[in-house]
């Protein structure tokens, strides 16, 4: 409770500094508008911002969830079958070095202006860090612990679910926190390829109409979404990896 009060205080302070700096230093609106102007712009058409927020949130979540599932599965498969790891991981690495924007136009051709198209880009950015960190986490398990469990007669499945996956969780969560921000980036970039709803669409419209207040309004929405999502993942981490969350 105390911590959240402090957080609220910090946000209020940051807002006051923003507002005050613009007024005191006479910063031009085209450089940085006042916070109250930005909030008023959101309040003027709340529906547009809310539906954009929801749409982008859903795209992010779907991409993130798919990326997590596929990433953990990849990690397990690569852990069990090093041959596959040696064959496929380099290809994954290559795929990640291609800037995501290069795929945007293709994804539009394949999936059209659908929610899926954005989720696919969010997925593309999420699955790789999860794959690598799952693999890393599984490898970090002490072989003596595995040997101990095996000496008790534990099956492979039991070792996996009782020892290896739990031990890999701290590493996996590092990737999930990264994935939380990356999947939002993916969703917003996806929306830049001709969609009608979303924070990315609002951002693009504002940018090209040189409507600085609307740019900041969209940035604010993206920040709330990104921070909120990150906080949720961090909260889940604290609950699930109660023995060693690193914060």
Partner 1 sequence: MNRRHLLTGLGAALALPAIPRAGAQTLTRATLRLKWLTQTQFAGFYVAVQKGYYREAGIDLTINPGGPNLLTENLVASGADTFGLSGGTDSVFAARERSLPIVCTGVMHQQTPFVFVARADGPIRTLADFRGKTITTWFTGANFVLLGMLAEAGLRPTDFTMQPQQVSVTPFVDGQIDVVTATRYNEFYTLMTRMGRDKLRVFVPDDHGITFPRDTVIVSEQTARDKPDMVKGFMQASIRGWRDALRDQKLGVDTVMAVAPTLARPHQEFMLEEAGKLMVAGPAATNGLFWVDMPTIQKAHDFFLRNGVIKAPLDLAAAYKPDVLAGIPLADRMA
DSSP string for 147-170: HHHHHTT--HHHHIIIIIHHHHHH
DSSP string for 20-31: HHHHHHT--TTT
Distance between CA atoms of 62 and 199, rounded to whole angstroms? 16
Residue partners of 58: CB distance under 8 A and separation at least 6: 115
For CA atoms 206, 210, 212, 213, give the dihedral sign: negative
Give the distance from CA 99 to its chain's centroid: 17
Would you say 49 or 229 has its CB closer to partner 1?
49
Q: How far is the CB of 60 from partner 1 (least distance, A)?
A: 19
**Site for partner 1 (CB under 8 A): which residue of 54, 70, 77, 113?**
113
Span 179-208, contacts to partner 1 by CB under 8 A: 192-196, 201-202, 204-208
Per-residue contact flags (x/-) with partner 1 for residues 67 to 106, judged by CB under 8 A: ----------------------------------x--xx-
Span 35-74, contacts to partner 1 by CB under 8 A: 41, 45, 47-49
Would you say 196 or 227 has its CB closer to partner 1?
196
Q: How far is the CB of 217 from partner 1 (least distance, A)?
A: 8
Q: How many CA atoms lie within 13 A of 189 on its CB side?
A: 23
Size of the site for partner 1 (CB under 8 A): 30
Distance between CA atoms of 23 and 96, rounded to whole angstroms? 44
Span 154-173, contacts to partner 1 by CB under 8 A: none
What angle (nearest 5°) sits at the alpha carbon of residue 55, between those of residues 51 and 57?
A: 115
Length of the chain: 247
Q: How far is the CB of 8 from partner 1 (least distance, A)?
A: 28
Q: How far is the CB of 180 from partner 1 (least distance, A)?
A: 25
List contacts with partner 1 (CB under 8 A).
30, 41, 45, 47-49, 101, 104-105, 108-109, 112-113, 192-196, 201-202, 204-211, 214, 217
């Amino acid at each position: 409770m105390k911590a959240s009060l402090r957080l609220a205080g910090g946000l209020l302070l940051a807002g006051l500094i923003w507002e005050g700096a613009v007024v005191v230093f006479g910063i031009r609106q085209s450089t940085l508008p006042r916070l109250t102007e930005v909030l008023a712009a959101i309040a003027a058409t709340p529906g547009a911002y809310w539906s954009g927020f929801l749409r982008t949130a859903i795209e992010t979540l779907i991409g993130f969830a798919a990326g997590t599932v596929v990433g953990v599965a990849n990690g397990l498969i690569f852990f069990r079958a090093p041959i596959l790891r040696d064959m496929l991981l380099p290809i994954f690495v290559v795929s990640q070095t291609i800037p995501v924007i290069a795929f945007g136009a293709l994804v539009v051709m394949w999936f059209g202006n659908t929610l899926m198209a954005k989720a696919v880009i969010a997925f593309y950015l999420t699955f790789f860090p999860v794959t690598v960190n799952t693999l890393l986490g599984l490898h970090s398990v002490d072989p003596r612990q595995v040997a101990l469990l095996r000496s008790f007669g534990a099956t492979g499945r039991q070792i996996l679910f009782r020892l290896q996956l739990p031990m890999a969780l701290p590493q996996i969560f590092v990737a999930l926190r990264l994935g939380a921000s990356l999947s939002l980036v993916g969703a917003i970039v996806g929306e830049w390829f001709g969609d009608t709803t979303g924070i990315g669409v609002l951002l693009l419209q504002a940018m090209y109409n040189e409507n600085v207040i609307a740019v900041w309004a969209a940035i604010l929405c993206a920040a709330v979404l990104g921070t909120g999502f990150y906080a949720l993942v961090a909260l889940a981490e604290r609950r699930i990896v109660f023995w060693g969350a690193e914060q």
